[in-house]
Amino acid sequence: MPRNMAMKLPDGVDPNNLPDMKTLRKMLKEEKKNKPKDKSLSKVMKYVWNGYRMQFIIVVVCIIITAIISALSSVVLQNLISSFIQPALAGTGDLSGLPSYLALCGALFCVGIATGATYNILMARIGQGTLNNIRKDMFRKMQRLPISYFDTHLSGDIMSLYTNDVDSLRQFICQTLPQIINSSVMILASVGVMIYYSLYLLVVVIVGIFAMLIVTRKIGGASGRYFMMQQSALGKVNGFIEESIHGQKVIKVFCHEDETKEKFDEKNEALCSSATSANTYANILMPIMGNIGNILYVLLAIVGSIMIAFGAINVGLASLINPETTMLSVLIGFLTIVKSFTQSISGLSQQINFISLARAGGKRIFDMMETPQEEDHGYVELVHARTNADGEITESKEYTGEWAWKHPHKAEGTVTYTRLAGDIEMHEVDFAYVPGKTILHDITLYAKPGQKIAFVGSTGAGKTTIINLISRFYDIEDGKIRYDGININKIKKSSLRDSLGMVLQETNLFTGTIKENIRYGNLEATDEDIINSAKLANAHDFIMRLPDGYDTMLESDGANLSQGQRQLLSIARTACENAPVLILDEATSSIDTRTELLVQRGMDKLMEGRTVFVIAHRLSTIMNSDVIMVLDHGRIIERGTHEELLEQKGSYYKLFTGAFELE
Ligand SMILES: Nc1ncnc2c1ncn2[C@@H]1O[C@H](COP(=O)(O)OP(=O)(O)OP(=O)(O)O)[C@@H](O)[C@H]1O
Ligand SMILES: [Mg+2]
């Protein structure tokens, strides 16, 4: 017996204090009524319809023809018996019409084969094409999701959307959909043929159908629920595997192999349990339906034979169309059509499993697709600019080395240009990643063009968070951030990020050559620009020592390089971007002090005339900054130059002298 046949309780009902059965049922009904309807499958259908309308119409027509021809095969058989076989057996037959009758049947079945093949070929194309479109849209949407989405979803779980969940839709589109159309048409055509044969026998069939429907509803509903759980458990298992692969070294260092295995077993068990229940229900449905069909078949044969014995079978419309119709031929024809009728019903009910699976997969996919995307109400754009003799800024189509903010003013219908200078101000900014848990408090700072601003402070003080806000990875709760006097909410995110050259705290490299990875910063960079950027970051020497130099392939996030080399490459990538504002978050933390000094010199060149935000734990890196901000628990507690802060003898002084003591 499948697990968990117990009644599901409505939300909020205490299992230890149950109301009576009637109230419980009423509550369940109410809950079901109020539950938002799941529209995943109609969304999938929309994809099919929008992408392949014409082909889909042809498929439907072909399926209808195939199904009708299939249903007509019983009529063909019945007529063959009444008009040729029975008279021949009785010795009264005239077989002269037989060859042309057989030729007609042959032609009919050939058409059936052709339409069947056509719809199958087309359906494969429609199915794969639709999945292709869905995957494309998913990926496009994923690129627009806010960073917070990735904070709250395991990457393996997201991967599972592209693999398991999309695959559940493949099954639905390529197999279930044609089968549903085919079975529905077959059922309709069979009912038509049954009416044509005998209304009395049809009554017996209707009783059988009721039994089939009740079984389908009960078992199909249960398997649907478990398929939903199965897809979610599958995502969790994938997420865990991905995390374990990523953290293999850490697992080994802490000897957590056994615990990891246990945790995996737990998740795998949950997957196994939901998948077993889903498949148990799914698997028992088919034999039950098949046997109800068989019982119906035998019942009809008995009832039909008794009726023939009493001469009580009515030969319905069949006798009107073919006066030679005999009762035996009607019974044989009826039994043939009932066979295909029950097969269609159980085929249809079997699809319920795939519908449930597709609904579960589709829901996860569309939940991701409907997650509110990164909001961007910005309308101020970054453009190439040129300044003429009287200081007026104009827009330019080509690269000029000068940039300006193009600011349209809707009300006046004018456009103004502001030179991109790199003036950044934060005014009384508060921020929380999770509502209610404020991380930054009342941050106010001014970074004048060309200034080097440094953030120091203990781990978790909020340094990276400030950078996250300047680049608008997250939006602020309260306060204002201005960039060259423009509220950054008005600046298009792509323009804003274009103007910022960032070396992030975590280095990420992509599969490709070293050259391609540096060019990532600026797709128009020439090979010479790339080499110059690498020299600036002091990466050129180590690159030249690699077997293929700049053409060395990097795989798996640059796993074939040392941590410091990866940082040098990400600095080179940012240098190649040549952006007016630089943000360096622990950019040199993994680089030895001698190399750091060399990088520093290169970077100093790069920093000339640019606004730079630097975060560094190694204070020697930031000593020459124009302003140093000391952060503690999300507040700026000290600010000033290195000398001023030392004089204050506060936290910075302690950090600095402490750092020296450590070295
Ligand atoms: N994505 C996030 N979701 C929720 N909280 C976060 C998130 N990222 C950071 N935090 C929290 O915000 C606080 C500040 O983190 P932040 O990364 O800004 O510190 P930091 O000063 O850069 O530290 P470090 O020197 O270690 O890089 C920490 O308490 C951290 O727990
Ligand atoms: Mg940080």
Q: Which residues contact 145 (CB under 8 A, 6 or more apart)?
A: 368, 371, 373, 374
What is the number of the ligand 1 atom nearest to the C-alpha of 505? 27
For residue 464, the CA-to-ligand 2 centroid distance in Å is 4
pLDDT value at residue 137: 92
The C-alpha atoms of residue 623 and residue 358 are separated, in whole angstroms, by 59
Contact 215, 292 (CB under 8 A): yes
Per-residue pLDDT reduced to its tens digit, 103-141: 888 888 899 999 999 988 998 899 999 999 999 999 999
Phi-psi category of residue 247: left, alpha or beta, with phi > 0 → left and psi -120 to 50 → alpha? alpha
Burial class (CB in 10 A: 0-12, 13-18, 19+), 277: buried
Structure confidence at residue 476 as a pLDDT band (50, 70, 90): confident
What is the number of the ligand 1 atom nearest to the C-alpha of 455? 21
The residue whose CA is least distant from atom 4 of ligand 1 is 433
Q: What angle do CA 402, 407, 408 make, to 5 degrees?
A: 140
Per-residue pLDDT reduced to its tens digit, 558-617: 777 888 888 888 889 988 887 888 888 887 777 787 777 777 777 777 777 788 888 887
Q: How far from the centroid of its chain's Cα atoms is residue 621's Cα?
A: 42
Q: What angle do CA 5, 8, 9 make, to 5 degrees?
A: 150
- The runs of H, that is alpha helices, within 247-326 are 248-253, 257-309, 316-321
For residue 427, the cross-strand partners are: 480
Q: Residue holding tokens 């730079």?
A: 612
Contact 300, 204 (CB under 8 A): yes
The residue whose CA is least distant from atom 14 of ligand 1 is 462
Cα distances (angstroms) measured from residue 515 to each of 10, 246, 536, 551: 59, 25, 15, 6
The more confident residue out of 491 and 348 is 491
For residue 462, the CA-to-ligand 2 centroid distance in Å is 7
pLDDT value at residue 660: 45
The more confident residue out of 156 and 53 is 53
Contact 288, 218 (CB under 8 A): no
Structure confidence at residue 3 as a pLDDT band (50, 70, 90): very low
Cα distances (angstroms) measured from residue 486 to each of 466, 490, 602: 18, 7, 31
What is the number of the ligand 1 atom nearest to the C-alpha of 463? 21
What is the number of the ligand 1 atom nearest to the C-alpha of 474? 1
The C-alpha atoms of residue 445 and residue 469 are separated, in whole angstroms, by 13
Task: Ligand 1 pocket test: pick from 443, 465, 632 the residue with the most ligand atoms within 8 Å of its Cβ.
Answer: 465
Q: How far from the centroid of its chain's Cα atoms is residue 389's Cα?
A: 53
Contact 240, 156 (CB under 8 A): yes
Question: Which of these, 653, 571, 608, 568, lies nearest to 452 by C-alpha position?
Answer: 608
Least confident of 7-11, 261-265, 584-588: 7-11
The C-alpha atoms of residue 321 and residue 86 are separated, in whole angstroms, by 18
The C-alpha atoms of residue 70 and residue 192 are separated, in whole angstroms, by 13
Question: Which of these, 606, 611, 615, lies nearest to 534 by C-alpha position?
Answer: 606
Dig out the tokens for 515 from the structure.
């050259």
Q: pLDDT over 70 for what percent of the chain?
A: 93
The more confident residue out of 314 and 25 is 25
The C-alpha atoms of residue 123 and residue 350 are separated, in whole angstroms, by 19
The C-alpha atoms of residue 176 and residue 169 are separated, in whole angstroms, by 9
Q: Residue holding tokens 């048409």?
A: 185
The beta strands (E) that lie in 327-396 are given as 381-387, 393-396
For residue 69, the cross-strand partners are: none
| 49-64 mean pLDDT | 92
Residue 218 identity (one-letter amino acid): K
Cα distances (angstroms) measured from residue 51 to each of 57, 133, 624: 12, 8, 60
pLDDT over 90 (residue 87): no
Contact 447, 470 (CB under 8 A): no
Q: pLDDT over 90 for what percent of the chain?
A: 12
Least confident of 167-176, 393-402, 453-462: 393-402
The C-alpha atoms of residue 159 and residue 561 are separated, in whole angstroms, by 26
Structure confidence at residue 661 as a pLDDT band (50, 70, 90): very low
- Average pLDDT score over the chain: 83
The C-alpha atoms of residue 339 and residue 626 are separated, in whole angstroms, by 87
Dig out the tokens for 187 from the structure.
């059922």
Contact 315, 327 (CB under 8 A): yes
Least confident of 7-11, 29-33, 261-265, 615-619: 7-11
Kind of pairing, strands 611-615 and 452-457?
A: parallel
Q: Which ligand is nearest to the CA of 458?
A: 1
What single DSSP character describes residue 548? Answer: T
Residue intervals in the chain for CATH 1.20.1560.10: 38-225+279-369
Host H or E run for residue 628: strand 627-632
For residue 614, the CA-to-ligand 2 centroid distance in Å is 11
Contact 429, 443 (CB under 8 A): yes
Q: Residue count of the chain, please give it.
A: 663
The CATH number fitting domain 424-662, selected from 3.40.50.300, 3.40.50.1820, 3.30.1330.40, 1.10.10.10: 3.40.50.300
The residue whose CA is least distant from atom 3 of ligand 1 is 433
Residue 142 identity (one-letter amino acid): M
pLDDT over 90 (residue 56): yes
Phi–psi pair at 393, nearest 5 degrees: -95, 130
DSSP string computed for 126-154: HHHHHHHHHHHHHHHHHHTS-HHHHHHS-
Contact 602, 576 (CB under 8 A): no
pLDDT value at residue 313: 66
Question: Which of these, 116, 138, 7, lies nearest to 59 by C-alpha position?
Answer: 116
Q: Is 463 in the pocket of ligand 1 (CB under 6 A)?
A: yes
How many C-beta neighbours within 10 Å does residue 596 have?
Answer: 22
What is the number of the ligand 1 atom nearest to the C-alpha of 147? 1
Dig out the tokens for 185 from the structure.
């048409």
Structure confidence at residue 211 as a pLDDT band (50, 70, 90): confident
The more confident residue out of 401 and 18 is 401
Which CATH number is 38-225+279-369 given? 1.20.1560.10
pLDDT value at residue 8: 58
Residue intervals in the chain for CATH 3.40.50.300: 424-662
Per-residue pLDDT reduced to its tens digit, 514-553: 988 898 878 888 899 899 899 888 889 889 998 889 999 8
pLDDT value at residue 312: 66
The residue whose CA is least distant from atom 16 of ligand 1 is 462
Per-residue pLDDT reduced to its tens digit, 289-329: 888 888 888 888 888 888 888 876 666 666 666 666 677 77
For residue 432, the CA-to-ligand 1 centroid distance in Å is 10
CB-based burial, 479-516: b 16+ in 10 Å, e otherwise? bebbbbebebbebbbebbbbbbbbbbeebebeeeebbb
Per-residue pLDDT reduced to its tens digit, 150-170: 888 877 788 888 988 898 898
Contact 250, 164 (CB under 8 A): no
What is the number of the ligand 1 atom nearest to the C-alpha of 586? 27
DSSP string computed for 413-450: TEEEEEE----EEEEEEEEESSTT-EEEEEEEEEE-TT
What single DSSP character describes residue 490? Answer: G
What single DSSP character describes residue 474? Answer: S
Q: Which ligand is nearest to the CA of 461?
A: 1
For residue 434, the CA-to-ligand 1 centroid distance in Å is 12
Per-residue pLDDT reduced to its tens digit, 548-563: 899 998 877 777 788 8
Per-residue pLDDT reduced to its tens digit, 399-427: 777 888 998 888 888 888 888 888 888 88
Instruction: Give helix 40-79 / helix 98-143 axis angle, nearest 10°.
Output: 170
For residue 412, the CA-to-ligand 1 centroid distance in Å is 43
Q: What angle do CA 523, 527, 533 make, to 5 degrees?
A: 80
Task: Ligand 1 pocket test: pick from 145, 463, 588 the residue with the most ligand atoms within 8 Å of its Cβ.
Answer: 463
Give the SS3 label for residue 323: coil
